[in-house]
Structure formats: C-alpha cells, structure tokens
Amino acid sequence: MNNWLQYLAAQGAHISNSNPLEILHFGQPAALATLETGFVAPLADLGVIAVSGEDAAGFLHNQLTNDVAQLDADAVRLAGYCTPKGRLLATFLMWKPAETILLQLPRSLQPAIQKRLQMYVMRAKVTLADLNDSHVLLGLGGRTAGAALNAWFPVLPAAPYASVSNDAGTLLRLADAFNAPRYQWFASTAIAQDVWPALAAQLAAVGSSAWRLSSILAGVPQITQPTQEQFVPQMLNMELIGGVNFKKGCYPGQEIVARMQYLGKLKRRMLAASLTVPTGTVTAGMEVFSSSDPLQPCGMIVNAERSTGDSFDCLVEIKIAAAAASSIHLGTANGPALQFRALPYALPNDPE
C-alpha cells in the first residue's frame, strides 16, 4: 500500500484486498442522490503511463486509433489500442500537459500494455514510465463539483474533453453524467493529500465504483481483462465518442477498422441497459442471450456497476437485430432481463 492509500485509509477509506487495490467506500456505498449532488472519488484502480522523448508523439500516433501527432496541450482524447486483427486490447484517455503524453488505463491492464508498447519502441527516442507512485487521479462529478474545484482551478475546462493545467496539476473535463460535468484531477501525491480535506468537506467522498458508474451513464466504455480482444472499436461506439480518427495513418488493426467503417455493415453495437439481479452480481465479460435464440449468446457485458440495491447499470455489446427483435437476458435466455435505455449520444441509425 503506497503513501496515498495509507493516507486515505487514515481518512476512513475502506480499501479492497484485490490486486490492484481499490477504494471501496468511506463508510457506506453512495446513494445516487449523493452522486447527483457532488462527489469526489480517489481512482486508485486507474493507472497512468508517461510517454516522453523526441519521438513520443509519432510513436503513439502509429500505435493508437486516434490522432496523437496533433494532440494539443488543452485537449483530452479517447483512444484504442488494437491487435493486428483490429480487436481492442485497451482503451485509453490521453492528454499532453507539457511535452509528455499521458495514457490512462485500468491498473490491472497497465503492466502488460506498457510492456507491449515498450516492445515496439525499438530505436525510437521514447521513454515509458509508470507514474502511479508519484501521482494520483481524483474523479469528481455532480452539480457542486465545479464550485468545489474553483479554489484551485478558477477557470474550468469549458467543454468535455478539454483540460486546464497549473501548479495544482491538470484538470480534465470528461463526458457529462448525472446531468452535470465530470472531471478528473491529475496531481502529485503531495498535492492530493493537501487538497483532500477541503474536497471531502464539500463533496461526498466515495469509492471508485461511483466513478465507473458515471462513465457507464455517460456511455463511455472501458476495456478490462475479461473483454480484451473481444471487440473492434465500432462495436463499442468508439468512433461516435471521438476515439477513432479515420484520416490518420496506419496503426495495428487499422485496415480492419477502416474496412468495417467504409465497406462493411456493422451488425453489433454497444447499448446502455439496466437490470435487476436479486442474487449475485453483474460483471464485464458475462454473456447475454436472446429469447428468440436461446442456445447461443448474442452479446457481452462491457462494463457494469451496481446503482441501487439489486439494480445494475451496464454497457452491453450486442447484435443490433437481437436487441430490436426480442427480449435479452443475462447468463441464459431465462436469466434477468435487460431493460435498454437511450445512450447520451445518437447511434447512426437513430433519429436525430
């Protein structure tokens, strides 16, 4: 347990026994009404890779689905990292506060992904570094989060996927949830410890599952270990939320991703759903089944989090035809039924 987690434990954080460690809660799970009002969550389950050096931008530009060469200092972008077959190994959030490009991803994936990227550096002037012992991420959202942040960031990012940086660190604005902006604050461990008491006095301190729930409600997927190599980017709507640039040059899997965009008819999409599971839980990688074709799965849970009691919100990748024609159930055709709801952005065939 590093200094940051030891500090949070002293502030009342309940920390998991998992690897990597995760903040579970600060006494009890947060209610939805609390999250809508305002919350701050230490995101110990997320890690950051720093990519620096003369060739850093060009190197990543040739590895990821999005444009890195033109990444501005005040921009934040989503990106995917694919196999040669176009299947996602990871999804990143990336930004460039100075000359170093930062990649955020689940800490459970970071060692393997960082090692894979390192393999392709070869003679390029690029250095990859793990920042998890020196820096932390805080997730903030709800109606009062912006006002709480003004003490350190008098001018907040004006729109989703913008950022501002100063001596306190970098503040990223991400896709909205709970009818309010969401922010991530990337800061040194020392600064995070200094600001935590003031933040926790103004906002509800919650576990990282609250942040993951907010991402689900925002319709933003995150690849985790159970879903690696399961999806091409379009199956997760990555091109709809700014995670794919079709005008840039080659990267692993680019030919397949481009062919699906321009020549193929996409038969699978990511949808948002909720369901009630009286016993057990809902996790990434679980399969879903159609009542009209009960013998084979028609989709897979991408991300899921408990919202209230025995209710879960999730993002599910699914055959478009199956979702439109029949009821969809978790685990088996007789399992808990999924109730689909609108995403916060339109799918291509949706009415505008």
- pLDDT tens by residue, 335-347: 999 999 999 999 9
Write b or e for each residue in 190-218: b if 16 or more Cβ atoms lie within 10 A of its Cβ, otherwise e. Answer: ebbbebbeebbeebbbbbbbbbbbbbbbb
- Give the pLDDT confidence score for residue 318 in this predicted structure: 98
- Give the pLDDT confidence score for residue 326 in this predicted structure: 84
pTM: 0.96
Q: Tokens representing 333?
A: 């055709």
- Give the pLDDT confidence score for residue 29 in this predicted structure: 84
- Give the pLDDT confidence score for residue 350 in this predicted structure: 44
Q: Does residue 232 contact residue 47 with C-beta atoms inside 8 Å?
A: no
- Give the pLDDT confidence score for residue 249 in this predicted structure: 82
- Give the pLDDT confidence score for residue 352 in this predicted structure: 39
- Domains of the chain are 1-264 (3.30.1360.120), 267-344 (2.40.30)
With a cut of 70, list the residues of the chain below it in pLDDT: 350-352
- Other Cβ atoms closer than 10 A to 154: 9
- Give the pLDDT confidence score for residue 30 in this predicted structure: 84
